[in-house]
């Protein structure tokens, strides 16, 4: 019984170590999880929805509502989007 528990514990530790390494690699390579996919959906929805008959009206209403948002909110959203997509790396590259 003791051998089984030790074997289970060792495999659990190895699994956690592998998960930690994978998480570190994702962070190192700039893959922040689902943020990229979420922002792609948010940014592309109004354009794509214009070509889908049932969604074009809601997309137009959404853009009208977005036009009423304060400038600081729009600026913050755009800044966060640029940060997630790695625009800062492009600016760093251009400085070289």
What is the distance between the alpha carbons of residues 69 and 66, in angstroms, rounded to a whole number?
A: 5
Q: Same domain for 18 and 41?
A: no
Q: Same domain for 90 and 80?
A: yes
Q: Same domain for 24 and 38?
A: no
Q: What share of the chain is helix, strand, coil (3-state, %, to 5)?
A: 80, 0, 20
Tell me the mean pLDDT in the region 2-19: 77
Angle between helices 56-67 and 35-49 (to 10 degrees): 110
Question: What are the pLDDT digits (tens) for 28-75?
Answer: 665 556 766 787 888 888 888 889 888 888 888 888 998 999 999 989
Q: Same domain for 20 and 40?
A: no
Looking at residue 86, its pLDDT comes to: 72
In this predicted structure, the answer to whether residue 10 has a pLDDT above a threshold of 90 is no
Q: Which domain holds residue 9?
A: 1-31
* CA distances in angstroms from 82 to 45, 50, 75, 86, listed in the order given: 17, 24, 10, 6
The tally of domains found in the chain comes to: 2
Q: Same domain for 14 and 58?
A: no
Looking at residue 30, its pLDDT comes to: 59
In this predicted structure, the answer to whether residue 83 has a pLDDT above a threshold of 60 is yes
In this predicted structure, the answer to whether residue 93 has a pLDDT above a threshold of 90 is no
Q: Same domain for 4 and 40?
A: no
């Amino acid at each position: 019984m003791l051998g089984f528990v030790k074997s289970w514990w060792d495999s659990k530790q190895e699994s956690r170590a592998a998960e930690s390494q994978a998480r570190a690699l994702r962070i190192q390579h700039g893959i922040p999880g689902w943020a990229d996919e979420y922002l792609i959906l948010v940014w592309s929805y109004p354009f794509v929805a214009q070509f889908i008959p049932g969604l074009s009206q809601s997309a137009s209403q959404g853009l009208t509502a977005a036009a009423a948002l304060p400038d600081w909110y729009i600026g913050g959203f755009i800044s966060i989007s640029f940060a997630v997509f790695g625009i800062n790396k492009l600016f760093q590259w251009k400085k070289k």
